[in-house]
Amino acid sequence: MISFDHVTKRYGGFTALDGVSFEARPGRVTGFLGPNGAGKSTAMRVAAGLTPATSGRATVLGRPYGTLPNPGRHVGMLLDASAQHAGRTGREVLTLGAILTGVDRRRVEETLDLVGLTEKEAGRRVRNYSLGMRQRLGIAHALLADPEVLVLDEPANGLDPAGIRWMRDLLRGYAARGGTVLLSSHLLNEIERVADDIVVIGHGRIVAGGTTRELLAGSGTTVRSADDARLRSALGTAGLSASPLAAGGLLVDATPEVVGAVALEAAVVLRELRSGDGRGLEEMFFDLTADAAREEVAA
């Protein structure tokens, strides 16, 4: 169990986390989503005891991380895959981790095999690892003590499609055995496929949270047309509420049949018309974080 109870973190006049409260529960994968700069990494660092909260409390297994006896035996962390000693081999990195946490050294070979690092790769210096290999090594380090809790920040970075599928199966199996997973990722399709629960953060505040099924259930009708402004006006005239979607189109508080009839009467060509159910995580994410996302400007 990971619990945030009204956690606030300020850096001078900047508030990185503003009263953040949520839980990641045992036996479930919790997807932690938000635009760059929304507060995801800060929250994870607070949970790991690396960044003190200004107020509020974050606990892991019922206590602050730093008060856990030998915390590395209970909590596996991957916050930055590049934060590994470049001069050591992959095997040396894991062996040192095993010594520091008191884990049987035989676990090193088991974990290397689990994450798919070959004998040759395990003997290579980390400075010569690809990003994907560093990610696998970081996940191996997090799993070394077979902990009860995993906190993973962007663990899929650099993994190829086969590696992403492997990680998905790994996390599902881990949660099925009763483990707690808090997973941050920009790969929204993967979060949708692996997460049982989703927490969305924007501008340091939680903007949505619940089971994946609940959040993606939606309601009403999603419609896209050749002229959304004209269609919205026609829907308004018909007494129907229509809200613009960040990804384009409208979410209408009515059935698809009613929306289609209004569009036909207004002679607006429809490009998409479907129940709001199953809008998809990407669409929900952009709707919830539209005012928090950064726009990239081409030079």
**Could you read off the pLDDT of 99-121 as tens digits, one per residue?**
999 999 999 999 999 999 999 99
In the chain, list all ranges with CATH 3.40.50.300: 2-215
- So what's the pLDDT on residue 219? 62
How far are the Cα atoms of 231, 241, 251 from residue 263, in angstroms, in the given order? 6, 14, 14
Give me the residues of the chain with pLDDT under 70, please: 217-219, 276-280, 291-299
Give the residue range(s) of CATH 3.30.70 domains in the chain. 219-277
Contact indicator for 71, 145 with CB cutoff of 8 Å: no
Tokens 């005891």 label which residue? 49
Q: What is the pLDDT of residue 111?
A: 94
The pLDDT value recorded for residue 299 is: 34
Cα–Cα distance measured from residue 87 to residue 89, given in angstroms and rounded to the nearest whole number: 7
Answer whether CATH 3.40.50.11930 is correct for domain 2-215: no
| Residue entry with tokens 């959040």 | 215
DSSP conformation letters of 45-107? HHHTTSS--SEEEEEETTB-GGGSSSGGGTEEEES-TT-S-TTSBHHHHHHHHHHHHT--THH
CATH topology (fold) of 219-277:
Alpha-Beta Plaits (3.30.70)
**pLDDT computed for residue 295 by the predictor:** 44
Q: What angle do CA 180, 46, 207 make, to 5 degrees?
A: 75
Q: Which of 80, 244, 263 is nearest to 157 (CA)?
A: 80
Give, for 201, the enclosing helix (H) or strand (E): strand 197-202
Cα–Cα distance measured from residue 58 to residue 49, given in angstroms and rounded to the nearest whole number: 9
Using CA atoms, how far apart are residues 105 and 118, in angstroms rounded to an integer?
Answer: 17
